[in-house]
Homo-oligomer: A and B are copies of this chain.
């Protein structure tokens, strides 16, 4: 009988697992709540109006259209029953012989979920469009504002978290304010916007070795980003943030400080780590359930040498491939293999033409670091058309300092309406 494999999640881990099954004798069902695979490393570009959603997202169906053994199902998974080997959806149930769970993580607020409405994080296209709407609307409202203090709050952007997402957001918003919209307003100077990056540790991008974090810090400061190291956010509300005891009035607060596992992990009834990720065995299966694998950001993988695998695209892709290989081996009655992470290096970008990259002993920064970042990201961006379009948009943006996707779309969120009281003229 042909084994039925269900993959939950169409991110890097899930998608590459599905692709690995090409030409193999298994039947695959790939479930995702979205119809598209997202190139998450460039999501901050959508959030800051540099790219359009269509540039970094591709329909999952189109990506596996050539594999007749893969069926794609758009749906919400609510629960996984490891004992019965069932995936429960809002609309129906899927039975499986093998499971690959790749449901990923969301941003986490360290127990302060009430902060989310004031400080959205960046994981989905909807998140990115909401952030874009808030950032662009802040400038629009600054133009209408007559009270100097409130205008200043409109022009204050606080980004919480000094990892790659926080640094990339801060750099891109700084460029947006200093260059792209610099000539667009008549009642204030957008270049005077405050962009504050808050990091609780003693450096940004702490996954990198020195001197790279130091170079990134210099690049951020050169862009005019006010980087506050060793600083903790103690409160977030509609008026702004508290940094320790200091209140900073800010209309726009963005969250890039932590992640928490997909709530699906709790339905498994197995051992999780503090962030809710599943502690998997060396072969990536769930201990005690040899037919169920967890891969990608949702997996907590401790390797033989005691190190854990970082939550990056290359690790997710390798795990997706590995779980698929192990399932194909198990289906033939062969033993599974332990997963071994091959470190391809890490990289981040800090605004226009500046980045850092680290691979083994190689360290790059500044323009060279940015070139490396650009090359790798274009190379891996799925789909030829997207690569070409993104390259043109970047080239254009680089030459002209303009950003092509500066659109405010979607309804205003309730709290955005709330923080902006109606002026007297309306009440009469």
Contacts and interface: CB of A to CB of B under 8 A. Distances in A.
Contacts of A52: 52-55, 405
Contacts of A386: 404
A423 B385 contact: no
Nearest to A183: B65
Interface stretch (A70-78, A253-261, A351-359): A70-78
Contacts of A36: 406-408
Interface string A109-148: 0000000000000000110010000001000100110000
A125 B409 contact: yes
A320 to B, nearest CB: 21
A76 to B, nearest CB: 10
Interface string A265-307: 0000000000000000000000000000000000000000000
Contacts of A425: 91-93
Interface in A150-173: none
Interface in A72-87: 72-75
A126 to B, nearest CB: 6
Interface string A20-35: 0000000000000011
Contacts of A71: 186-187
- Say what secondary structure dominates the interface of chain A: mixed
A407 B185 contact: no
A405 B75 contact: no
B407 A396 contact: no
A62 interface: yes
A59 B393 contact: no
A59 B137 CA distance: 12
Contacts of A75: 144
A181 B91 CA distance: 23
Nearest to A35: B408
A137 to B, nearest CB: 8
A113 B402 CA distance: 41
Interface in A54-107: 54-55, 57, 59, 61-62, 65-66, 68, 71-75, 90-93
Contact of A140 (B57, B74, B93): B74
Nearest to A128: B409
A396 B62 CA distance: 15
Indicate the member of A74, A144, A406, A407 with the most B CB atoms within 10 Å.
Answer: A407
Indicate the member of A72, A90, A144, A409 with the most B CB atoms within 10 Å.
Answer: A409
A396 to B, nearest CB: 5
Contact of A61 (B184, B388, B392): B184
A414 interface: no
A422 B90 contact: yes
B143 A406 contact: no
Given A52-B55, A62-B184, A73-B144, 17 more contacts: A35-B140, A36-B408, A52-B52, A53-B53, A53-B407, A54-B407, A57-B407, A59-B406, A65-B184, A66-B183, A72-B143, A72-B184, A93-B425, A125-B407, A129-B409, A385-B400, A392-B392
Interface of A: 34-36, 52-55, 57, 59, 61-62, 65-66, 68, 71-75, 90-93, 125-126, 129, 136, 140, 143-144, 181, 183-187, 385-386, 388-389, 392-393, 396, 400, 402, 404-410, 422-423, 425-426
